[in-house]
Structure 1
């Protein structure tokens, strides 16, 4: 059995699931998802159930049993903790009963199962009528998704200190470059603070600000985002997945050079090498 600890927001839960799913396949075993962390997190909730994911919820008894057995038989019961933000090939080589605890933010843990994840990260429910109309506008244009992450990045001092807030200059330069790379771009702006984005983000071309979704249904933004053809992402796992899940083989993706506020954190493996970092 592989148990993966799910915690934090939707984008992070998707990274955790992706590695857990791949490692379970490599071990020829079932995947269980430990959702216990959300009992102590009033700001987050388990969200993977909205997708066509495979893997059942680990019971408290199963998690407790693993904890007992890893003490008694540490050679066969392996608790794998993330040591850094870099890819660790030893993780994929692990065999036995496994418990995963970390963010695992690199595609190098799951590129081999990309097609499977493209399917399993489809939402179970169909889009609402308004979302279907917006998806039609996106599909009919050379759509560029622009993700502006604010919320706790701005309001929570601890989060701001860790992640930082991207300056307007990043978006201005990214949109300028994107307009020079793709013909007739239409910029679709996704943000958890749409009013701020509408007032401050000024694309060099036609633009649409996506509104109507909040933290409780951000997965609907992700559904629309992945429909876009090109991407300007934030230092956010949410828009990372929006870009990664896009099926456009010629997509251009621009990502921030600094992913975290602290420069000592090595993030070279977070952004795929074919994406542009500025």
Structure 2
């Protein structure tokens, strides 16, 4: 069996699922997900944003790992025991599963290629290389569980039929004053607009955000712009994500939510603009190199 630990929001969960699924395909095994830490509402932390299990917005239903596996290998809710447990799992690998922790974020770990069956994965696994081999299978699996509701059908058809539609994703909320991530400034979107205007005839920009009112004030484009408000988000932002995938082109921030919208879009000739600086780790910026495909543009 392959067990992958879930952490973070939907975008993070998708990267973790994709890495685990890739290893499960390779080892001809079944993938289990460990959501025990994700759903724990008593996590000791100086600052924590609680997340929910969100993979079920897609037509996938990976079985949950047994509580024994979660207790043995999963992250502890205690700040005191969390690092101790990680070190124990890493250096005293005596259980039924091989514990594999991500060694460096946002960069493919070569140890992953040597893994086979009976593995517990702990990390974010944010590199396209982890699931490059199963892209087609993954796209076939990641179909939205719910169809577009009637009240959003007109907007959905408008976006689908517009061959010059550009999804603009603006991530704020928990990224404000975040030590690892930072809010992409308005100048990024201005520079991204120039790249789009040079390549797309008569674009229409569709702005999606967790702070749409801020966007109405601070995001300005020279072309027609539609601000897609919270009423189109759905109870878990799944409708926002689905509408975003209908766009032809993308301007995304350093957000996995926006990244997956671009990746899930079926367009073959899509233009995707991505920030060069993705995260700030150990007092240095980590680039988005591991997350971009040929033809994607960086600023």
- Determine which of 71, 74, 77 is the counterpart of 2:97: 77
Aligned CA-pair RMSD: 2.3
The runs of 5 or more residues in structure 2 that have no matched partner are 42-48, 75-87
Larger deviation, residues 189-198 vs 105-114: 105-114
User: What is the aligned length?
Assistant: 274
Using the size of structure 1 for normalisation, the TM-score is 0.91
Contact 1:52–1:119 (Cα < 8 Å) also in 2: no
The 3-state SS of whatever aligns with 2:100 is strand
Distance 1:245 1:100 in 2: 24
Pair 1:147 & 2:169 matched: yes
The structure-2 alpha-carbon separation of the partners of 1:19 and 1:232, relative to structure 1 and needing over 3 Å to count, comes to: same
The 3-state SS of whatever aligns with 1:23 is helix
Distance 1:60 1:203 in 2: 50
1:53 is matched with 60
2:120 is matched with 99
Contact 1:147–1:233 (Cα < 8 Å) also in 2: yes
Contact 2:4–2:20 (Cα < 8 Å) also in 1: yes
- Determine which of 238, 242, 249 is the counterpart of 1:230: 249
Using the size of structure 2 for normalisation, the TM-score is 0.85
Contact 2:277–2:285 (Cα < 8 Å) also in 1: no
Contact 1:76–1:96 (Cα < 8 Å) also in 2: no
Contact 1:86–1:266 (Cα < 8 Å) also in 2: no
Contact 2:90–2:100 (Cα < 8 Å) also in 1: no
Q: Deviations over 1:172-228 (max 9, x none)?
A: 110121011111111000000011111111112111111114584211111111111
Contact 1:69–1:77 (Cα < 8 Å) also in 2: no
Distance 1:39 1:146 in 2: 30
Contact 1:226–1:243 (Cα < 8 Å) also in 2: yes
2:159 is matched with 138
The runs of 5 or more residues in structure 1 that have no matched partner are none
- Determine which of 268, 279, 283 is the counterpart of 1:249: 268
